[in-house]
Copies of this chain bind each other. A is one copy, B any other.
Amino acid sequence: VRVVIIGAGFGGLNAARELKGADVEVTLIDRNNFHTFAPLLYQVATSGLNAADVAHPVRGVFWKQPNVTFRNASVTGVDWEEQVVEVDDGDPVAFDGLIVAAGAGTNFFGVPGAAEHSLPLYSLADALALRNHLLARVEWAHAHPDEADVALTWVIVGGGPTGVEMAGALAELVQHVLRKDFPELDLDRRARIVLVELADRLLTPFVPKLSANARRALEKRSVEVRLDQQVESVAEDAVTLAGGERIPAHTVVWAAGVKASPLAEHLGLPLGPGGRIVVEPTLGVAGHPNVYAIGDVAVIPGEDGRPLPGVAQVAMQSGRHAARQLTRTFGRAGRPEPFHYKNKGIMATIGRRAAVAQFPNGFTLRGTLGWWSWLGLHLVYLIGFRNRLSVMVNWTWNYFTWDRGPRLILWTDRRRGRK
């Protein structure tokens, strides 16, 4: 029996692992040859971690699981008649059961100029491109001190966890590293980090007191928090807000939201909000008894009927559930069962000794305690002991020295910084 899993993110990877020892042949397909620990991408973008600290070669994950074959390719579509997945390189892959775990992509919400002039933070390539851009702009400011202000303004669009974490990490990079790297630039006075959020508070999935706590922690780090603000357009050298205010900036980070992977619309399956695939309570797709959709590419209904958030825990749990339902069905052990999400809580970090955490029973943590639990949790969930070790070394070093080793501008395509 052949199971194909599209995507090696948290969902796809956990689905494949769940099938260890099962009497199925699994083919896992991803356009990258590595799994990305997406929650830490902002640390790669701000020179806190190496690329390899948050990425793990997929083939290495399955050295000891011989029923998994990996294909490094982009999926271009599914032929439902022939029951094969089509890829951009090599032969199509036949399946008896299919798990669609293609994840999400950046949602620019049609804001003019956003796709062309802002930098998303959803993939490892995004994070490295953002790091190159950030650092190259400061070097440019150093070479052109009279015009430096626009190069030293960073606008982050979106006050969810990604935007808040990016703003906090960037503020610490500027205050503790770049200030020493560029003593001539007077960054204390000239550097400007602006966080723009559409709602009336940051971190809307959290309770209001944690939103307020995050805002205070950011403002303490000199981040300008702009609530109730809509971005009207993005240009090469400025962001314009709905009220008409124009913020000159060479760098705009787009952390405003995600939509389903573009693959979803090429599959001919029923789509919901954000282009996500609609699934039944079992995570199966109506009319396709052997097809499941999980994680960010699916609209997964929660207990209260509202869709579950696009977080790693939902992807991991839904991936394992879908894998189990396929083995149940193939093994004729009965009909697929509905998915029950076990909420383990949510967290976001602002900076050193500043994080917020919220658990389903209403318990909350913030400040130093929140930060330590955030650290521990992320170390536990990082794939692979080697990554954990390297991240621990990096974090310990960063903690005591405030240094950031990986602040390298690496244009592997030999292209130099654009504005």
Interface residues of chain A, those whose CB is within 8 Å of chain B, are: 32-34, 50-52, 55-57, 59-60, 63, 66, 69, 71-73, 87, 89-91, 124-125, 128-129, 132, 135, 139-140, 142-144, 180-184, 384, 386-387, 389-390, 393-394, 397, 401, 403, 405-415
State the majority secondary structure of interface residues on A.
mixed
Determine whether the beta carbon of B405 is less than 8 Å from that of A33: no
Given A51-B50, A69-B184, are A389 and B384 neighbors across the interface (CB < 8 Å)?
Answer: no
Residues of B within 8 A of A87 (CB): 143
- Smallest CB gap from A129: residue in B: B412
Determine whether the beta carbon of B142 is less than 8 Å from that of A181: no
Distance in Å: Cβ of A401 to nearest Cβ of chain B? 8
Determine whether the beta carbon of B408 is less than 8 Å from that of A33: yes
What is the CA–CA distance of A57 and B406 in the complex, to the nearest angstrom? 8
Residues of B within 8 A of A390 (CB): 390, 393-394, 405
9 more CB-based (< 8 A) A-B contacts, given A69-B184, A390-B405: A32-B409, A33-B139, A34-B408, A60-B407, A89-B143, A125-B414, A129-B412, A410-B412, A413-B413
Determine whether the beta carbon of A412 is less than 8 Å from that of B413: yes
Residues of B within 8 A of A55 (CB): 408
- Smallest CB gap from A87: residue in B: B143
Residues of B within 8 A of A397 (CB): 386, 389
Residues of B within 8 A of A91 (CB): 143
Given A33-B135, A89-B140, are A52 and B412 neighbors across the interface (CB < 8 Å)?
Answer: no
Determine whether the beta carbon of A59 is less than 8 Å from that of B386: no
Residues of B within 8 A of A144 (CB): 89-90
What is the CA–CA distance of A142 and B55 in the complex, to the nearest angstrom? 21
Residues of B within 8 A of A135 (CB): 33
Determine whether the beta carbon of B393 is less than 8 Å from that of A405: no
What is the CA–CA distance of A125 and B288 in the complex, to the nearest angstrom? 47
Residue A389 contacts which of B60, B183, B393, B411 (CB distance < 8 angstroms)? Answer: B393
Determine whether the beta carbon of A72 is less than 8 Å from that of B409: yes
- Smallest CB gap from A132: residue in B: B412
Determine whether the beta carbon of B405 is less than 8 Å from that of A52: yes
- Smallest CB gap from A389: residue in B: B393
Distance in Å: Cβ of A138 to nearest Cβ of chain B? 9
Residues of B within 8 A of A401 (CB): 386
Given A51-B410, A125-B410, A390-B390, are A180 and B405 neighbors across the interface (CB < 8 Å)?
Answer: no
Q: What are 22 A-B residue pairs whose CB atoms fall within 8 Å in the complex?
A: A33-B139, A33-B408, A33-B409, A55-B408, A57-B407, A60-B181, A60-B405, A63-B180, A69-B184, A71-B142, A90-B143, A91-B143, A124-B410, A125-B410, A125-B411, A128-B412, A132-B412, A386-B401, A386-B405, A390-B394, A412-B413, A413-B413
Distance in Å: Cβ of A131 to nearest Cβ of chain B? 10
Residues of B within 8 A of A60 (CB): 181, 403, 405, 407
Residues of B within 8 A of A66 (CB): 183
- Smallest CB gap from A36: residue in B: B408
Residues of B within 8 A of A128 (CB): 410, 412
What is the CA–CA distance of A212 and B384 in the complex, to the nearest angstrom? 40
Distance in Å: Cβ of A384 to nearest Cβ of chain B? 7
- Smallest CB gap from A31: residue in B: B416
Distance in Å: Cβ of A54 to nearest Cβ of chain B? 10
Distance in Å: Cβ of A107 to nearest Cβ of chain B? 19
What is the CA–CA distance of A414 and B57 in the complex, to the nearest angstrom? 18
Closest 5 CB pairs of A and B: A90-B143, A413-B413, A59-B181, A52-B406, A72-B139
